[in-house]
Structure 1
């Protein structure tokens, strides 16, 4: 009875558009009206306990590093490098959009930051080249979903923290799926551009020297993911320490190598970091308290028993989970989904013999798809508000991309080696 009331209150608050963190806090507080064994002060204790962890510092550090990168001149260098790489391909500017998302994903760790940046820089240029505004906006939104699974994706850190899984292994596991998504999007853009005759005449040709010079400019930025993954896998530093190194590396690039970061920009970056970090940390705190209620009510155990009884094979399990996550993603923000659902899925994985690292990549892609769908798609609203695209036009243009993302998620689910080859090869 108590759990039903809590879930009902949470749903009502969602429908009233109450911020997610506060909706979780209020609905969790309601639970204490139905139990006598616990004081309401436990709510505060569970929230504080949920964020009292050293690994969570990695999130703060990588958020800081990603924001600092925006003020170092890296974006323009990456953009130039991506332009030269894709200059001979049909739909070269759309191809730049895909490649830049993949490259910047290894720096920012945030899909919203990536989507917002490219909405401002690339979408207006794509419209000038003849692309429809809705297509350019949807492409930007869809390619930003590569970011959560490319190290150092914030979603990977959160999943690893909640599920008690090696963050270094998750970082390794996300590399190949991110590349696969990039290639799939590039193939789609190729045929779309051919069909609609967009940038099919390659006017601007770059020499090998141009490519070498652009790579030289982007080299130090491209080196960051290598330093992070290599350092963690070699045992030189932990994921949290890697985040601190990423911050110092971003400052080194901005102040010493590129010399484009000014004191005013540094202060602005730190203020942005505080706002972004605070919003994520309060969600983690609220989600931890809510997850405690679910554990107290034995929801993970009951769901595991129900799933094992009715779902006989890992293949069917993945199919059921993807449908469930696509629906959940339409209504619940991705970070909240990770905090609440990860403890529910962990017992099930052992029953089906599924590697939690493999499942994590699949899980994050599935909940990321929800950021492109109404009614609460954060990426959808972010990109549309920046580019001025109507929501109905975005939804119509997003259908092919949603199909591509679902196919990619199923491919990752049914071919575990895509996720597990790097972690198992470089133990």
Structure 2
């Protein structure tokens, strides 16, 4: 009976039950059948997690992205990205990658970034002669950068579930995010030559034109900078940074006269819808986590894995393979919430820094979002662009290879993640 709820969870997911409900049903079965505690504890454990202060960062950063989309700030950022890279061969594809990086400092959500660019940028790429499968592959794969650049929601979830400093995680994501952006742009340039893609502009924009586009997007670009600087100097916590980001986004929207009182209801509705999905999974996972702790499943798994090997390099390789497999069948955020309490004690026991592991784990599970059979980023993008899954996979093969290489580099070169937070920063727990 010890593993019955876990086996039922896998069964529910396999037959298509939504992840949040599947986790909750499996947890409820434990409380109903254990006989060791009243079933009412299920509700208490599910609700208790909503009292956490760090979780406030999720709706706040979600709202930041919604406000910026509503205020047209995203369009201004796209114009700036196009002014910088549009003259390159395959320029619109480069714009796609650069915009994902810029959006990472705003929305923190790969799904939001993929959906936005699939609606806005892919049709323009198709109109200018780019193959729809290639455009969709670039959109989905580059959106992975959004969760690594602060304030990535995946980093917030990992920090909360693993009791790891969210401030240090934000700092740890900057260098890997920039490196993935550069590597993605190099891959796009190579693909542009192979596919004979043309530039978006016949010639380079002048610096005056680039300056004009920078002025339009400049205030929005200050959001991630302000978050990092504010946390570094102790002006606010990562959670309070979310509130500051919302206020700043509203200020920019009003300043550009693109926000009005009529926008309040749609902004709140979109924020509530996105937040409710995430928090349902978190609440149910907290109840499920009580079951795992009661049955000593995390400590059992930790003992088994460390008995298998105490070599941190080999252990990280095994965990990466495990995460890739799990991520192919379970949505990234849900897998992150479920597995973080299990894996963090394992890696810390062999001397792996939990901040470094957080970047690796978030990147790994987000990469799974563009891989078959159940990649949410893949399905989101293809549903909007109308591209078939087989065509998407064929177009995405070079990007799959790139992302796997970057995952290995970030896994086995921890200094890339830890250099910035370890340089001078001691941010403590969130």
Shared fold, TM over 0.5: yes
Matched, 1:42 2:38: no
Partner of 1:423: 421
Q: Which residues of structure 1 form unaligned runs of 5+?
A: none
Q: CA RMSD in A?
A: 1.3
SS in 2 for 1:152: coil
Partner of 1:81: 80
| Cα distance between partner residues in 2 of 1:57 and 1:201 | 41
Partner of 2:2: 2
Post-superposition shift, 1:236?
0.8
| Cα distance between partner residues in 2 of 1:292 and 1:183 | 42
Partner of 2:284: 286
Cα deviations across residues 303-322 of structure 1 (Å, max 9, x unaligned)?
Answer: 11111111231111111111
Conservation of the 8 A alpha-carbon contact between 2:31 and 2:41? no
Partner of 2:164: 165
How is 1:12-411 mapped onto 2 (pairs within 5 angstroms)?
12-199=11-198, 203-255=202-254, 257-411=255-409
| Cα distance between partner residues in 2 of 1:191 and 1:341 | 36
Post-superposition shift, 1:202?
5.7
SS in 1 for 2:105: helix
Cα deviations across residues 79-137 of structure 1 (Å, max 9, x unaligned)?
Answer: 11101111332211100000000001100111111001100111112122222111110
Conservation of the 8 A alpha-carbon contact between 1:137 and 1:387? yes
Conservation of the 8 A alpha-carbon contact between 1:50 and 1:289? no
Conservation of the 8 A alpha-carbon contact between 1:68 and 1:266? no
Q: Which residues of structure 2 form unaligned runs of 5+?
A: 426-430
Structure 1 runs, 4 residues or longer, greater than 6 Å off? none
Post-superposition shift, 1:151?
0.7
Conservation of the 8 A alpha-carbon contact between 1:2 and 1:34? no
Post-superposition shift, 1:32?
2.5
| Cα distance between partner residues in 2 of 1:94 and 1:200 | 9
User: Residues 107 and 295 (structure 1 numbering): CA distance in 2 closer, same or farther, change over 3 Å?
Assistant: same
| Cα distance between partner residues in 2 of 1:129 and 1:394 | 19
| Cα distance between partner residues in 2 of 1:426 and 1:94 | 37
Post-superposition shift, 1:9?
1.4
Post-superposition shift, 1:346?
1.5
| Cα distance between partner residues in 1 of 2:395 and 2:271 | 33
| Cα distance between partner residues in 2 of 1:126 and 1:214 | 20
Conservation of the 8 A alpha-carbon contact between 2:92 and 2:200? no
| TM-score normalised per structure 1 | 0.97
Post-superposition shift, 1:220?
0.4
Conservation of the 8 A alpha-carbon contact between 2:13 and 2:22? yes
Post-superposition shift, 1:372?
1.1
Post-superposition shift, 1:278?
0.9
| Cα distance between partner residues in 2 of 1:426 and 1:260 | 40
Moved more, 389-398 or 178-187: 389-398
Post-superposition shift, 1:201?
9.0
Post-superposition shift, 1:8?
2.2
| Cα distance between partner residues in 1 of 2:200 and 2:215 | 28
Conservation of the 8 A alpha-carbon contact between 1:334 and 1:367? yes
User: Residues 200 and 113 (structure 1 numbering): CA distance in 2 closer, same or farther, change over 3 Å?
Assistant: closer
SS in 2 for 1:183: helix
Post-superposition shift, 1:60?
1.2
SS in 1 for 2:167: helix
| Cα distance between partner residues in 1 of 2:104 and 2:45 | 32
